[in-house]
């Protein structure tokens, strides 16, 4: 049971619980899977005499984590969990807040690279003294920055599921059984990570911003010296009259649709994109969205878009029973009996140890 503990977290961006999903366990074995086997063997040998002592994640810890909306058992490898220094108060904090910390730093890395790339390109536009004589990078550099920021952010935030974005977290709560109770603390961690990163970029490039805009001046597009685009998305010049909403919606829908396809091991023939290949595939996905559409930051459209893209995938391509829309009448019947539906869902979550 200890061995399974670190696996009972819904797996990555799809939020599919690995516990009820034998597929995930059959994926290309990663270091983590090996751990579990290692732990399982250890457990098997040592089980009778020590199974009680093994649980250093005390009931105190479990209560704290449950209150935060996290699953009672933190995703931590056996060897580390048993180590002596985990009794220290900070070690306990680190375990209690494991997933929020992961989301915080993952989002921070993502935004550091994304905003950093925009800043460097925008502030050096046309600079003749740069190698190559035309600034430190071009629009392509920005795609690189966001795409590898996502890739590296996923590596940093592996243990929390690496959602890195409220809209993606939201969609997984709706469609992939990620418990709603976990949404607030993930949202908080992601927002803080993004804001801290923006602050760091602002501090690092403040001289450049002052030089381009003039000291103390800050403008937004279409001002020719606008630098606000480092931190937000503004419409392209030719988009001024069209609903910017539609563009964001489209990009978000494509994002979510392809993420679900990448994570769906039941629809990839011989091609594996989950496990070790996932972060690399995400690099190409984000690069593509940057190269072909506008995207990422704004508030409302991504939530609608991600949800739509996720539903589209589940309705037409996903055959697994764990999706909300893979029920008779696409799960809409639950709308007539919301209370019962919520209770059923919570009971199921508790039975699976997710809350």
Residues between 74 and 93 with contacts to its own copies, criterion CB under 8 A: 75-77, 79-81, 83-86, 88, 90-91
Backbone angles phi, psi at 17, to 5 degrees: -70, 125
Number of H helices, E strands in the chain: 14, 2
* CA pair distance 113, 99, nearest whole angstrom: 21
Question: b/e for 309-348, b at 16 or more Cβ within 10 A?
Answer: bbbbbbeeebebebbbbeeeeebeebeeeeeeeeeeeeee
Whichever of 261 and 355 has its CB closer to its own copies, that residue is 261
Query: Which among 7, 37, 41 has a CA at the least distance from the CA of 158?
Result: 7
Structure tokens at 16: 């599919």
Among 269, 335, 338, 339, interactor with its own copies by CB under 8 A: 269
**Cα 72 → chain centroid:** 20
**Shortest Å distance, C-beta 82 to its own copies:** 9
49 binds its own copies (CB under 8 A): no
Choose the stretch contacting its own copies; rule: CB under 8 A; options: 65-73, 169-177, 241-249, 338-346.
241-249
Q: Does 1 bind its own copies (CB under 8 A)?
A: no
Q: Which stretch binds its own copies (CB under 8 A): 115-123, 164-172, 187-195, 299-307?
A: 115-123
- CA torsion sign for 34, 16, 295, 316 is positive
The closest of 209, 8, 6, 197 to 125, measured between CA atoms, is 209
For residue 243, what is the DSSP state? -
- State the burial class of residue 59 (Cβ atoms within 10 Å of its Cβ: 0-12, 13-18, 19+): exposed
**Residue of 130, 332, 342, 351 that binds its own copies (CB under 8 A):** 130
Answer for which of 71, 92, 113, 349 binds its own copies (CB under 8 A) is 113
Q: Kindly state whether residue 255 participates in binding its own copies, applying the rule CB under 8 A.
A: no
61 sits near its own copies (criterion: CB under 8 A): no
- Binding residues for its own copies restricted to 145-204, rule: CB under 8 A: 145, 148-149, 151-152, 154-156, 158-159, 161-162, 200, 203-204
Selected binder of its own copies within 96, 109, 178, 189 (CB under 8 A):
109
279 sits near its own copies (criterion: CB under 8 A): yes
Question: Considering only residues 48, 129, 216, 299, which one is a binding residue for its own copies as defined by CB under 8 A?
Answer: 129
| Interface characters, 14-33, with its own copies (x: CB under 8 A) | --------xxx-xxxxxxxx
Among 15, 137, 194, 310, binds its own copies (CB under 8 A): 137
Q: Is 354 a residue that touches its own copies (CB under 8 A)? A: no
- The 3-state DSSP class for residue 16 equals strand
For the segment 296-335, give every residue that binds its own copies (CB under 8 A): 315-317, 319-321, 326-330
Note whether 204 and 112 are within 8 A (CB): no
User: For 55, which DSSP code?
Assistant: -
Token pair for residue 129?
A: 């003294």
Q: How far apart are CA 92 and CA 96, in angstroms?
A: 6
Q: Which is nearer to its own copies, 43 or 159 (CB)?
A: 159
Among the listed residues 240, 299, 336, 338, the single contact to its own copies using CB under 8 A: 240
The yes or no reply on residue 64 touching its own copies (CB under 8 A) is no
**Binder of its own copies out of 174, 285, 306, 307 (CB under 8 A):** 285
Distance CA 99, CA 162 (A): 9
């Amino acid at each position: 049971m200890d061995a399974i503990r670190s696996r009972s977290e819904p797996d990555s961006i799809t939020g599919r619980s690995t516990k009820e999903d034998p597929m995930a366990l059959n994926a290309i074995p990663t270091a983590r899977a090996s751990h579990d086997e290692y732990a399982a063997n250890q457990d098997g040998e040592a089980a009778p005499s020590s199974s009680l002592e093994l649980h250093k994640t005390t009931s105190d810890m479990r209560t704290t984590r449950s209150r935060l909306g996290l699953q009672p058992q933190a995703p931590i490898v056996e060897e580390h969990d048993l180590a002596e220094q985990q009794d220290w108060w900070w070690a306990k904090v680190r375990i209690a807040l494991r997933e929020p910390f992961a989301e915080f730093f993952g989002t921070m890395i993502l935004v550091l690279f994304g905003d950093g790339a925009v800043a460097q390109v925008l502030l050096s536009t046309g600079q003749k003294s740069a190698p190559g004589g035309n600034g430190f990078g071009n629009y392509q550099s920005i795609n690189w920055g966001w795409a590898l920021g996502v890739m590296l952010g996923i590596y940093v935030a592996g243990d929390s599921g690496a959602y890195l974005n409220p809209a993606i977290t939201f969609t997984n709560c709706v469609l992939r059984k990620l418990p709603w109770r976990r949404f607030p603390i993930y949202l908080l961690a992601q927002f803080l990570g993004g804001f801290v990163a923006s602050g760091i970029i602002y501090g690092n490039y403040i001289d450049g911003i002052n030089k381009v805009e003039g000291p103390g001046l800050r403008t937004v597009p279409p001002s020719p010296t606008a630098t606000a685009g480092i931190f937000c998305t503004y419409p392209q010049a030719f988009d001024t009259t069209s609903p910017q909403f539609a563009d964001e919606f489209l990009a978000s829908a494509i994002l979510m649709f392809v993420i679900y396809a990448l994570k769906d091991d039941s629809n990839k023939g011989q091609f594996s994109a989950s496990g070790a290949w996932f972060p690399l595939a995400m690099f190409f996905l984000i690069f593509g969205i940057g190269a072909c559409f506008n995207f990422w930051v704004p508030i409302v459209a991504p939530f609608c878009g991600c949800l739509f893209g996720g539903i589209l995938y589940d309705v037409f391509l996903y055959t697994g029973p764990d999706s909300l829309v893979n029920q008779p009448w696409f799960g809409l019947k639950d709308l007539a009996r919301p209370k019962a539906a919520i209770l059923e869902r919570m009971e199921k979550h508790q039975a699976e140890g997710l809350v």
